[in-house]
Amino acid sequence: MTSKQPTEAADAIDAAGPRRKRSNRILWIAGPLVVALVAGYFYITAGRYTSTDNAYVQADQVTIAPQISGRVVEVAVRENQQVRKGDLLFRIDPEPLQIAVEQMEAQIEAAGDYLNASRDTYRSASADLRASEATLRNHEAQLQRVRELRARGIVAQKALDDADNDVATARGSRDADAAALAKARTMLGGAVNTPLTELSGYKVALAQLAKAKLDLSHAEVRAPIDGTVGKTHLQAGDFLNVGQAAMPLVSHTVWVEGNFKETDLTHVRVGQPAEIEVDTYPGHTWTATVSSISPAAGSQFSILPAQNATGNWVKIVQRIPVRFEITTGDEDGLILRAGMSADVKIDTGKQNSLLGRWTGKTGPDSKVAMTR
């Protein structure tokens, strides 16, 4: 019994030997193959995707400011309230503006009466001019007769002097009446029959009335776009000047702006697909496309751009803004708000290949579109 057990153990060892050799052979073959496949995958896809976590949700923002000055009498919205285009935001006291409209309407009527009176003045001046011209002709004829009589010695020199004086007086009256007529004609636009609405004075009054009505319409400040009211402290009773910021309005239309390193944009083109993850909603992905690439690095738009041609210089990789248009439809309960942090990954479609290495083509040949 004792001698039989070592024999069985030896037989088991002899039987396990071929199996172990077979397993080792499989590992020696499969191991390098798996490594080659993994390395090939990473080689082919290397450079296809570029990503950044320096990305943020953006939205258009409008600063609401009045176009007239006045005291606020009503605030129709509250902070963080959603509004539609045309909704009332706040109202400025309209009473002074209504008074201005009524005043200009009265001035329009007064201008009409004044211009109608100018027509009567023109007719009167025209009649006066005709009378003064007739008087002048009469005195000139009288002067001629007195000269003839004086030449014959029939009348005294005083009579001739009086006739000369009458002609000079009549000529002066004629000139004054002619000037009055010219003035009346100018007030009527050069012609007595010019329509009232074509006269410059009446047009000025109409323009002032239109301005007063426009100011009155601006007493009600309404939303220019669909959006959400931002942080505001506006209260009834506050006085606002023209152009003074009253409240911000953030648009409902959002996009994502990613600030990529310049070295990561080698194969990025407008129209390429992208995926976006927002930190607020981990695990959820939005699909998007590259809608535009900034024409300059972000540092170029700063108040004090870098002056690399002076002093000591250290090379720093620049960031270039890339805008993404979200193509995913509305997500239930997932609201994107301006300023949220995001991660962006772009599929450039670029793939490595031995054929590409040999021919010098390592990616799609497309033009870069530079837009806003």
Q: Are 338 and 250 in contact (CB under 8 A)?
A: yes
Q: How far apart are CA 273 and CA 349, in angstroms?
A: 9
Residue 326 lies in a domain: yes
Shared domain for 78 and 227, answered yes or no, is yes
Residue 361 lies in a domain: yes
Residue 290 lies in a domain: yes
Residue 9 lies in a domain: no
pLDDT of residue 124: 78
Dmax over Cα atoms in the chain, in whole Å? 194
Assign residue 339 the CATH number of its domain.
2.40.30.170
Residue 14 lies in a domain: no
Shared domain for 275 and 300, answered yes or no, is yes
Residue 36 lies in a domain: no
Task: Indicate if the pLDDT at residue 112 is higher than 90.
Answer: no
Shared domain for 317 and 204, answered yes or no, is no
pLDDT tens digits for range 116-134: 777 777 777 788 788 888 8
Mean predicted confidence (pLDDT) in 68-92: 95
Report the mean per-residue pLDDT for the chain: 82
Amino acid letter, 134: A
Give 218's pLDDT tier (boundaries 50, 70, 90): very high
Handedness of CA 170, 174, 179, 181 (dihedral sign): positive
Give 39's pLDDT tier (boundaries 50, 70, 90): low
pLDDT tens digits for range 142-170: 888 878 777 877 778 887 788 788 888 88
Amino acid letter, 201: G
Q: How far apart are CA 64 and CA 120, in angstroms?
A: 52
Shared domain for 235 and 275, answered yes or no, is no
Residue 275 lies in a domain: yes
Task: Indicate if the pLDDT at residue 38 is higher than 80.
Answer: no
Give 19's pLDDT tier (boundaries 50, 70, 90): low
Residue-range definition of the domain harbouring residue 79 = 66-89+219-244
DSSP 370: B
Assign residue 144 the CATH number of its domain.
1.20.58
What are the backbone angles phi and psi of residue 288, rounded to the nearest 5°?
-155, 175
Shared domain for 191 and 108, answered yes or no, is yes
| Greater pLDDT, 86 or 193 | 86
Shared domain for 256 and 236, answered yes or no, is no
Assign residue 81 the CATH number of its domain.
2.40.50.100
Q: Find the range with the poorest average confidence among 25-34, 230-239, 281-290, 304-313.
A: 25-34
Domain count, the chain: 3
pLDDT of residue 198: 76
| Greater pLDDT, 199 or 104 | 104
Shared domain for 254 and 362, answered yes or no, is yes
| Greater pLDDT, 84 or 299 | 84
pTM check: above 0.85: no
